Amino acid sequence: MTANLKTGASLPRRTAARLVAGKGRYTDDIQVAGLLHVAFVRSSYPHARLKRIETRAAADMPGVVAVLTGNDLAKVCAPWQTQLALLPSHLSPPQMPMAQGEACWQGEAIVAVVATSRALAEDATESVEIEWEELPVVADVQAAALADAPVVHSAMTSNLGLDHTVSTGDAEAAFRQAAVTVEHTFSFDRQTGVTLEPRTILAEFDPRLQQLTIHHSHQVPHQMRDIFAAQLKLPLSNVRVVAPDVGGAFGLKLAAYPDEMAVATIAVLLERPVKFCADRLEAFVSDNHAREAKVHGRMAVDADGRLTAMDVSVVSGFGAYSAYPRGSVGEALQAVHMVAAPYKMAHLRGRVRGYFQNKPPSGVLRAVGQPIATTVTEQLLDLAARRLSLDPAELRRRNYVDTATATARSAGGIVLAELSLERCHDRLLQLMDYATLRQQQRMHRDKGIYRGIGLAAFIEQTAVGPTLYGAQNVRASAQETCRLTLEADGAIRCATSITDQGQGTSTALAQIVADALGVDIETVEIATGDTQLTPFGGGAWASRGTALGGEAALRAARKLKESVLGIAGALLQTEPDLLKIEDGRIYNTASPLPQMSLADIATTAYFKAHLVALTELPALEITESFAPRDLPYVAANGIQAAHVEVDVELGTIRVLDFWVVDDCGRVINPLLVDEQIRGGVVQGIGAALYEQCIYGADGQLENGSLVDYLVPMASEMPDIHVAHVQTPTSATTLGARGVGEAGTVGAAAAIWTAVNDALTPFGVVLSEQPFTPERVLDALAARKD
Partner 1 sequence: MTDLHSIAFMLNGKSVTADVDARLHLADFLRHTLHLTGTHIGCEHGVCGACNVLVDGRSTRSCLMLAVQVDGAHVETIEGLTASGQIADLQAAFTARNALQCGYCTPGVLATAAELLTGNKPTRDEIRDALSGNYCRCTGYHAIVDAIETVAGKRHGGAP
Contact call for residue 21 and partner 1 (CB under 8 A): yes
Nearest to 329 by CA among 293, 371, 379, 376: 293
Q: Site for ligand FES (CB under 6 A): which residue of 1, 33, 147, 196? A: 196
How many C-beta atoms surround the C-beta of residue 540 within 10 A?
A: 28
Q: How many residues bind partner 1 (CB under 8 A)?
A: 59
Q: Which helix (H) or strand (E) holds 680?
A: helix 670-689
CA distances from 118 to 114, 262, 745 (A): 8, 16, 39
Q: Which is nearer to partner 1, 42 or 347 (CB)?
A: 42
Can you tell me the distance from the alpha carbon of 241 to that of 219, in angstroms, rounded to the nearest whole number? 11
Q: Which is nearer to partner 1, 12 or 136 (CB)?
A: 12
Contact call for residue 20 and ligand FES (CB under 6 A): no
The least CB distance from residue 497 to partner 1, in Å, is 20
Backbone angles phi, psi at 610, to 5 degrees: -65, -15
The least CB distance from residue 285 to ligand FES, in Å, is 18
Q: Which helix (H) or strand (E) holds 469?
A: helix 467-470
Q: Site for partner 1 (CB under 8 A): which residue of 82, 683, 753, 772? A: 683
Q: Which helix (H) or strand (E) holds 604?
A: helix 598-607
CA distances from 625 to 218, 279, 515 (A): 22, 38, 19
The least CB distance from residue 112 to ligand FES, in Å, is 24
Site string for ligand FES, 499-528 (x = CB under 6 A): ---x--------------------------
Q: Which helix (H) or strand (E) holds 427?
A: helix 421-432
- 683 touches, from partner 1, ligand FES, none (C-beta below 5 to 8 Å by class): partner 1
The least CB distance from residue 712 to ligand FES, in Å, is 12
Contact call for residue 644 and partner 1 (CB under 8 A): no
Q: Closest residue to ligand FES, Cβ-based?
A: 196
| Footprint on residues 114-153 left by partner 1 (CB under 8 A) | 119-120, 123
The least CB distance from residue 402 to ligand FES, in Å, is 38
CA distances from 618 to 137, 507, 519, 566, 594 (A): 65, 28, 19, 7, 22
- 761 touches, from ligand FES, partner 1, none (C-beta below 5 to 8 Å by class): none
Can you tell me the distance from the alpha carbon of 323 to that of 224, in angstroms, rounded to the nearest whole number? 14
Contact call for residue 24 and ligand FES (CB under 6 A): no
Backbone angles phi, psi at 61, to 5 degrees: -75, 155
Options 67-75, 263-271, 302-310, 496-504: segment touching partner 1 (CB under 8 A): 496-504
| Footprint on residues 179-198 left by partner 1 (CB under 8 A) | 193-198
Strand ranges, E, within 516-633: 524-527, 579-582, 585-588, 594-597, 621-626
Q: Site for partner 1 (CB under 8 A): which residue of 5, 17, 471, 613? A: 17
- The single-letter code of the amino acid at 471 is A
| Footprint on residues 504-533 left by partner 1 (CB under 8 A) | 504
Contact call for residue 713 and partner 1 (CB under 8 A): yes
Contacting residues for 240 by C-beta, under 8 A, at least 6 apart: 211, 212, 213, 214, 225, 530, 531, 532
The least CB distance from residue 723 to partner 1, in Å, is 14
Q: Which is nearer to partner 1, 61 or 605 (CB)?
A: 61
Backbone angles phi, psi at 559, to 5 degrees: -70, -40
Q: Site for partner 1 (CB under 8 A): which residue of 51, 62, 101, 522? A: 62
Are 59 and 44 in contact, with CB atoms under 8 Å apart? no
- 213 touches, from ligand FES, partner 1, none (C-beta below 5 to 8 Å by class): none
The least CB distance from residue 246 to ligand FES, in Å, is 9
The least CB distance from residue 358 to partner 1, in Å, is 26
Q: Pairing state of beta strands 524-527 and 492-496?
A: parallel
Cα angle 507, 512, 518; round to 5: 120
Are 262 and 681 in contact, with CB atoms under 8 Å apart? no
| Residue count of the chain | 785
The least CB distance from residue 194 to partner 1, in Å, is 6
Q: Which is nearer to ligand FES, 417 or 706 (CB)?
A: 706
Contacting residues toward ligand FES, per CB under 6 A: 196, 248, 502
Contacting residues toward partner 1, per CB under 8 A: 12-13, 15-17, 19-26, 28-29, 31, 62, 119-120, 123, 193-198, 245-250, 279-280, 501-504, 671-672, 675, 678-683, 705-707, 711-715, 717, 719-720, 743
